[in-house]
Amino acid sequence: MLEEVPLGTGWVEPALREEFRGLGLRYTVVSAHTGRSPRELRARLRHLSDRIHGERVVNLRREPVASAYRVFFRQIGIDPDEHKPPGEAAMLERLRAGRFTSRDLLEDALTVAVVETGVAVRAFDADRLEGRPGLRIAQPREHLYGDRVELPDGAIVVADERRPIGLVFGDTGSTPAVTRATERIMLSVVRVPGIPEISVEEALWTSSGILTGTDRREQGRRGRSRK
């Protein structure tokens, strides 16, 4: 079981660190359930929707954080025009759908974090993990936790101290995925070279604050709506 920490730093396999200097993993663990989003959060998503327009999306890839993701995607063999980095994907979905659609508390918290900071936060069931999380290269015949599909040699994965739990910017293993039964959630950010630490921390604080109901902006909105 992964212990709760305000903001932890994951390990990075030395070979990987040598290849990508500045690559890292930050995480936090919160006691929270996912479920239907509160009215205040849905209002926040609507407010965010109003701030996104086509020209901003066009210029997004020139912004430092979005640019860092695109560069890293290229460097690890993913075409960012085919499989958009999370920030771009969220913005494009907003343009396509006309708004940010509320899905559930967790999805909405991650959407707010990625839209406000540009940094992608990922969630895992903390009670399914063993030891600290980190980044490493998959070994031959390994598979994601809960899946039977073998990972290719050399795949970059998020892992706990026993096994891979997700591909970097890809699938999550079925066992450590967050479900309605999850009681503690690990929120993690793969820190890509070039992304400022302050943005990473803000993304984690924002998403964890929403999930636990301690986000100051959420509290402010709730306070105002009660008056």
Partner 1 sequence: MPDVVDGHITERANVYSGSRNRLPATPFGLHTGLDEAPARRSLREQIAKLERELAAVFASAYPRRGLEWRVGSPGGPRVLGVGELEEVRDRLASRLEDARRTLRDRGYVERKNVERIEEMLEEPARFKWVRISNADIGEPGCKYWHSRPRLGLIGMLMGWWRVKISSGCP
Q: In 10 A of CB 7, how many CB atoms?
A: 14
Distance CA 152, CA 29 (A): 29
Minimum CB–partner distance for residue 172 and partner 1 (Å): 8
Q: Which is nearer to partner 1, 69 or 205 (CB)?
A: 69
Q: In the complex, what is the shortest distance from the CB of residue 50 to partner 1, in angstroms, rounded to a whole number? A: 20
Minimal distance, residue 101 CB to partner 1, in Å: 16
Nearer to partner 1, 6 or 152 (CB): 152
CB of 68 vs partner 1, minimal distance in Å: 9
Give dist(CA 209, CA 117) in Å, integer. 14
Closest CA to 201 of 117, 144, 111: 117
Cβ proximity to partner 1, 142 vs 218, nearer residue: 142
Angle, CA 212 vertex, CA 190 and CA 65 arms, to 5°: 30
181, exposed or middle or buried, with CB in 10 Å at 0-12, 13-18, 19+?
exposed
Instruction: Give whichever of 12 and 215 is closer to partner 1, judged by the CB atom.
Output: 12
The residue among 141 and 226 lying less far from partner 1, judged by its C-beta, is 141
Whole-number Cα distances in Å, 204 to 19, 109, 136, 211: 25, 10, 21, 11
**Cβ-count burial 142-159 (b if 16+ within 10 Å, e if not):** bebbeeeeebeeebbbbb
Minimum gap (Å) between residue 100 Cβ and partner 1: 17
- Closest separation between CB of residue 137 and partner 1, Å? 7
Q: How far is the CB of 158 from partner 1 (least distance, A)?
A: 10
The helix or strand, by DSSP H or E, that contains position 134, with its residue range, turns out to be strand 134-137
Nearer to partner 1, 107 or 201 (CB): 107
Would you say 86 and 167 are in contact if contact means Cβ atoms under 8 Å apart?
Answer: no
Nearest CA-CA partner of 44 in 166, 197, 213, 196:
213
Residues that bind partner 1 (CB under 8 A): 15-16, 18-20, 55, 58-59, 61-62, 67, 70-71, 73-79, 81-83, 89, 137, 140, 147, 149-156, 167-171
Q: Which residue lies nearer to partner 1 by CB, 30 or 135?
A: 135
